[in-house]
Chains A and B, each alone.
Chain A
Amino acid sequence: MNATALEKFQAAFPDATCKVVLDSVVIDVQPDKLESTLAGLKNDPAFNCGLLLDVTGIDYKDYPKTTETRFYVVYTVRNWQDNLLVQVRTPVVDPEKGIPTATHLFDSALWGEREVWDQYGINFQNHPDLRRILNHYQFEGHPLRKDYDIRKGQVCIGNDSLEKEIRARLANNGVAESTMKDINTEIMFLNLGPSHPATHGAIRILTALDGETIMANINEIGYLHRGFEKTSENLTYNQIIPLTDRLNYCSSMMNNIAYVKAVESWLGIEITERAQFMRVVLSEFYRVLDHLVCIAANMVDMGGLTNYWYLYNEKETAYDFISRLTGARLTSSFTRIGGMYRDFYEGWESDLELQLRDIEKGIGDSIKLVLKNRIVHDRTKDVCVLSAEDALSYGFTGPTLRASGVPFDLRKDAPYYNYESFDFEIPVGSKGDIYDRIMIRFEEMFQSIRIIRQAMKFIPEGSVFIEDSQVVLPPKADVYNNIEGLANHFKLIFEGVKTPAGEWYDSFEAANGELGFHFVSDGSGRPYKLKVRPPCFYIMGGFHKMVEGNMIADAVINLGSINIIGGELDR
C-alpha cells in the first residue's frame, strides 16, 4: 500500500484517521460517520469495496493500553478487482444503545452483526433480525466479553421454534397471511435438521413449503459452536495450530497454513523458499481432498452412490499417504510459526505422483458418470441460481462465488507464496447454479494438481525453518546440551512466540473461499483476541437466497454443493 493510496482515503474521509497496517487500510471513524464511510467505500468508484468480508467486535477491558471506549466494532471490506482491503473501526460508547447497522449496504452484515451481538452484546440499531446465532436461545451474557468466565457453561433445554422468524420471512417474500390459510395453498413448515442425513453435520434448515416448493427459508446454525475464539485467547500462538485443524476438518492443513501465514505476516517473517513451496504443494493437495469429499457427498445426495466410492476411496488412500508425512490422518497440525514441522520424507515425491495419478483416475471415472448424465443435468442446471450481485452482497468467496461468475481468487488477485509464478487457471461459472458449483470444483482439482506438479518440479533444497531463536524452537541437541538452547526452548513453550502489540488481518484462499484471521495482540505470547473469518459462515448466510422458489429436494443438493463444514461454520 503506497502513500498516495492513503492520501486518497484521507481526502475522501476527512473526519476519519486512516493508517496502513500490512496490506490493508484501517480507518477510524466515529459511530455517526460509520454509515457514510461504509457507503462511500461501497459506492465510490474510486474504492468500489463491494465485498463485506467480516464484522467483529473487540473488548478492550483488559488491554494494557487504554482506549477511548471499552468496545470497538470492526468492518472488513474488500475491493476484489483492485486488491484493496479496508478495515473500518468504530468505538462503541454504550453497547446497549449500539451503533447503526450496515445491513442496508451489505447483506453479509445480517449474520456478521448478529454474531457480534451474540458474542459481545453490542447492539446494532435498525438491524432487522438481531438475535443469537452461535449460542443457544436460552444463553445469558456474552461469552467473548473479557469478564465472561470461559468455563461457565449454560444448559439449554428445548429448541427455539423460530415460528416468528419464518412467518416474517414469508411476509417478506409476499406470501400474505390469507394465502397461508387458503385450503389450496396451505403452507407446511418442514425442518431439515439439526440432525438429518442431508445436512452433513448439524444445521437446521427450516422451510415453509407450498407443495414441494420452498416459499421461505431460514437457517439456524451454531450447533457446533466450540468456542474456538475464546479458547484461543488462553493459548500461545503455536498451541492454537491444533485448534485450526478442526475448523474445516476436510482440509485441515490449509487452516494450519492460513493461520501461521497470518501470524508470520505480522512478525514480518519471510519463511524459507522450501517451506513456501511445501505450503503450496500441501495446500493444493488439501484443496483437492476437500473438493473430493464435497463432490462425493453431493453426488450421494443426488442418488449417485458409485461416484462416492470412486471419489471417497481416493481420499481414503490419501489419508494414509498424509499420515506417512504428518502422523495423523485428518488433523495434521503440520505447520509451525516460521516454517513446517518437518521436511518431506524420503520418497515423498514418487508417493505423491502415484497418489495424484490415482486421484486423477478417480476424478476421471466420476466425471464420466456425471458429464453426460441426464439426471445430473436435470437436477442441477438452472437450479438454485445465485446472481453475482447477490453473491457479493452476501459475502461469498471461493468456488461458490466464482460459480456465479466473479473471478475472484486470492491466489491470483493478492498472490502469496509465489502463486503469481505458477501456471494455472481460475475456472469461472456462467450461471451460478448447482451445476456450475460442482463443475468448478472438478476443474479446480485438475488445476490444483497442475500447481502441485509445477511446485514439485521447482522446489528448492534447503531448510524448512527460518533461523530465529525468538520464533522457532531450537534443535533438540541444543536443548539438551547447552543452557541457551534450553532457555529458548523453555521461553517459547511457556510464553509463546511474542508478537508486537497491534491489530491486523490476513487472509488465505482456502478450499471454501477467503479464510481470514483478525488478531489483536497485546504484545504477549497469546493473542488478546483472535477472530476467524470463515468462508462457510457467510455462504450459509445467503442460503435462503438460493433455495427460495426451488423444490425441497433441490435445497438438499444445494447444501451439498456449497460445502458447509460445521467446524468452520460455527467455530
Chain B
Amino acid sequence: MALGLEAKLGDNVMTSTLDYIVNWGRENSLWPFVYGTACCAIEFMSTAASLHDISRYGAEVVRFSPRQADLLLVCGTVSYKQAPILKRIYEQMPEPKWVIAIGACASSGGIYDNYCTVQGIDTIIPVDVYISGCPPRPEAILDGLMKIQNQIKGETVLEDRHKDFKGILD
C-alpha cells in the first residue's frame, strides 16, 4: 500500500520536459568536491556544520573523489604549483559539472598579486559562480550554492558546456 505521493497519483501519467526533470534532480542533489587549500576551507567547514547545515540544499554528500562529484568548490588560494592538480581534478570529474570559486583568492588572486599566486582560477578551469569575501561568510557560500541551483534550472541536457574553454595550462 502506497502512502505518499504515489497513493494520490495512482496509475495516472504525468508529462514534463526531460530538461525539467533532469535539472530538478541535479540541482537538489549536488555532490561537492571540496578543493580546500586555505582559510576559505575553514568557512566551508562552518557551512557544513550544524548551524548552517548545507544538507538543507541537498549538497551534504561531500566526496573526496572527483569521480563521484559534480560540484567543484575551490576554497582558497591556488598557487602556480597547485594549478596542474586543480586542473587534473577538474578533468577527472564526470560531466555535468559546475565550479564555484569561493573567496577572493580563488576568484581573482585576492590580496596576493604576486609571483606565486594564480590570478583567479578561471585562468585554469571554467568557473560558474564567484563568491566574494576574504573569507566569505557561510551564508555567502550557501548563496553561491543557490545561484548554481538557479543556473542548473535553466540548462539543457542537449548542450555541452565549456567545450571551447582554453586556460593557461591547456
Contacts and interface: CB of A to CB of B under 8 A. Distances in A.
A155 B81 contact: no
A209 interface: no
Contacts of A156: 80-81, 83-84
Interface in A99-122: none
Given A155-B80, A195-B85, A329-B43, A566 B115 contact: no
A238 interface: no
A556 to B, nearest CB: 13
Interface string B78-89: 011111111001
Contacts of A201: 36-38, 41
B154 to A, nearest CB: 31
Nearest to B45: A312
Contacts of A330: 39, 42-43, 135
A155 B114 contact: no
Interface string B46-77: 10011100000000000010000000000011
A226 B116 CA distance: 6
> In which size bucket is the chain A interface?
35 or more
Given A135-B116, A143-B116, A153-B115, A249 B42 contact: yes
Contacts, number: 126
Given A224-B77, A309-B49, A157 B85 contact: no
B116 A227 contact: yes
Main secondary structure of the interface of A (DSSP, over half): loop
Contacts of B38: 201, 224, 226, 246, 249, 566-567
B169 to A, nearest CB: 6
B20 interface: no
Interface string A157-200: 11100000000000000000000000000000000001111000
Interface string B22-50: 00000000000001111101110110011
B135 A226 contact: no
A232 B10 CA distance: 69
A227 B114 CA distance: 7
B134 interface: yes
B39 A148 contact: no
Contacts of B1: none
A149 B113 CA distance: 11
Contact of A331 (B64, B117, B135): B135
A192 to B, nearest CB: 12
Given A196-B64, A223-B82, A227-B114, A313 B51 contact: yes
7 contacts: A150-B115, A151-B113, A156-B84, A202-B37, A222-B81, A225-B116, A226-B112
Given A566-B37, A566-B38, 17 more contacts: A134-B116, A136-B81, A143-B115, A148-B115, A151-B115, A153-B115, A195-B86, A201-B38, A223-B79, A224-B77, A225-B79, A227-B112, A230-B115, A231-B111, A309-B50, A312-B49, A329-B135
